[in-house]
Amino acid sequence: MQYSFIIFFLFLFASNTLSAQENNTAKESPPPLAKTDQGLLFTIKGSNTIGAKLAPHWTKHYLEQRGLKSVTIIPGAIDNEFRVGGLNGEVRAYVDIYAHGSSTGFMGLKDNSADIAMSSRPIKYDENESISKIIDLNDFEAEHVVALDGLAIIVHPENPIKTLSVQQIREIFSGNINNWKELNGTNAPIARYARDHKSGTWETFSTIVLGKNHFLSRQTQRFESSKMLSQNIYQNPYGIGFVDLSSIGNNKALAISDAQNQAIHPKVAFIATEDYPLSRRLYMYSLPNKLNVHAKYFLDFIQSDSGQQLVEDSGFISQRPLSIAINDLSGPEEYLDVVKKGERLSINFRFKSNSSALDNKAKQDIMRLVDYMQAPEQRNKIIQLIGFGNTKDRNRRSLLLSKLRATSVKTELRKHSVNTASVIGFGDHFPIASSTGESRHKNQRVEVWIFDQKYKQLLQNIKKDVSIKVQNRNTSNLLSSD
């Protein structure tokens, strides 16, 4: 009966295939604009985090790639509005950008005033329902993860505080901690700074930190712009606030922990893997049945190598795979034994909520990993997939599901002639987020590690030893499998 159960789940994961359309992430360069293409090509509305700098730069390079000359970014009469355009022959073509908060992007899709919505948070259920009764904006063709970012908790550089937990940040911003001395800091009142209510940055902070049962203190100053918030903290030694990575400025970003887990700095490596407690995805949403060809080519450009390079140039974290040597790695003994000779890849595969299906970013990342492994310097490397899960009622179930998640990734890679070493699962033995909070889904992940070919036999032997150690702990389900 036990083997039938395992076979059923293996079949369930293996049958979770990606369509050819979803796998086609190799973006060709768009053709030059036709002579008749003039005036407004498309409109983008939404997140200030994306729209203040990144979206205008994306748009400028995209229009240049399509042949426009003298492309410029022209600020509008109102802050956070831009017109990006150039000359198509003797006529002008342009794109309008309105960056007044993530919710305004979804309103733009709803009233047809926007072709693309920028958001620094996932679309909400009620927004999805109100925009279209036909199209689910959580689908692969509608939801586009375009970059990664982290909410940096910033203080004045002279503030002695170095780390805070998510729980402490919640107490500060809900008004339950009001003096730095309560955190072993200076005896001075805390000045709180937050983004405005239309901001996706605020929505992310509210969801991850405050949750459903806490509310922002009324003694909090609000800002539409992350840049302005950051500047105010630099002028106040007792201030604290949250901004996107590109807006830290000269302030100090604190290391953050979730529950009893290790405090992590908002560094590129830990945001790319989404291990940092306040990491987040940046999105663009569109209605495929209403998307004109110019906006479609633009979304393809964003996912290209050139588009992702602009993500890095703008101070955010791109989705291009990056090999990471981690010197101060922590975790269970068995896990450290397995990975000690390898380098971690910045891709973490994640899954749809309460589902075994790869999420939309993971579908894109499958092809990114395929492309990465085709590079000459990677062809003699070994991929090791390691699955993790959240706390379950039964520990054996969590172990099994973590292994099956890794198997599902292995299956997708094999379709593209990319083989991996035998997978391994660690269940809930290495959480990176609270098992009960809004970020608990981060525990359900598959890490990617890269090893030199010379360690192939050593790696296999280590995994056998790990299985024996686990069996000695009466946890016989932690097994490696071809």
Same fold? 2-21+321-472, 31-145+281-313: no
Q: Please, are residues 398 and 423 in contact by the beta-carbon 8 Å criterion?
A: no
Helix axes 293-303, 305-313, angle to 10 degrees: 70
Helix axes 54-65, 293-303, angle to 10 degrees: 110
Q: DSSP letters of 261-318?
A: SPPB---HHHHHTT-STTEEEEEEEE-GGG--HHHHHHHHHHHSHHHHHHHHHTTSB-
Q: Where are the domains of the chain?
A: 2-21+321-472, 31-145+281-313, 152-272
Could you read off the pLDDT tens digit of each residue along the chain, which spans 482 residues?
Answer: 443 344 344 434 444 445 444 444 445 678 999 999 999 999 999 999 899 899 999 999 999 999 999 999 999 999 999 999 999 999 999 999 999 999 999 999 999 999 999 999 999 999 999 999 889 999 999 999 999 988 999 999 999 999 999 999 999 999 999 999 999 999 999 999 999 988 888 988 998 899 889 999 999 999 989 999 999 999 999 999 999 888 999 999 999 998 777 888 998 888 999 989 999 899 999 999 999 999 999 999 999 999 999 999 988 899 999 888 777 777 778 889 999 899 999 999 999 876 778 999 999 999 999 999 999 999 889 999 999 888 764 567 778 888 899 999 999 999 999 999 999 988 887 877 776 766 677 888 999 999 999 999 999 999 888 866 655 554 444 444 44
Measured CA to CA, the distance from residue 410 to residue 421 in angstroms comes to 9
| Topology, domain 152-272 | D-Maltodextrin-Binding Protein; domain 2 (3.40.190)
Phi-psi region of 175 (alpha: psi -120 to 50; beta: other; left: phi over 0): left
Written as six digits, the tokens of 204 are: 């992310």
Written as six digits, the tokens of 371 are: 């492309």
**Percentages of the chain per state (helix, strand, coil), in multiples of 5:** 35, 25, 40
Which residue bears the tokens 């903290």?
A: 233
Measured CA to CA, the distance from residue 81 to residue 244 in angstroms comes to 19
| Element housing 148 (H / E) | strand 143-150
In this structure, the chain runs to a length of 482
Q: DSSP letters of 222-277?
A: EES-HHHHHHHHHT-TTEEEEE-GGG-TTSEEPEEE-TTSPPB---HHHHHTT-ST
The arrangement of secondary structure in 2-21+321-472, i.e. its CATH architecture, is 2-Layer Sandwich (3.30)
Kindly state which CATH superfamily the domain 31-145+281-313 is placed in. Answer: Periplasmic binding protein-like II (3.40.190.10)
Q: What are phi and psi of 227, to 5 degrees?
A: -60, -45
**What letter would DSSP give residue 481?**
B
Measured CA to CA, the distance from residue 224 to residue 226 in angstroms comes to 7
Nearest to 340 by CA among 352, 328, 350: 328
Written as six digits, the tokens of 182 are: 């309560």
> Which residues, 6+ apart, have CB-to-CB distance to 378 below 8 Å?
372, 450
What stretches of 149-190 show up as alpha helix (H) in DSSP? 166-173
The reported pTM is 0.81
Measured CA to CA, the distance from residue 171 to residue 217 in angstroms comes to 10
Q: DSSP letters of 421-459?
A: PPBEE-TTSS-SS-SSSTTGGGGSEEEEEEEEGGGHHHH
Summarised one tens digit per residue, pLDDT across range 237-280 is 999 999 988 899 999 999 999 877 788 899 888 899 998 999 98
Using CA atoms, how far residue 261 sits from 87, 326, 365, in Å, is 54, 17, 27
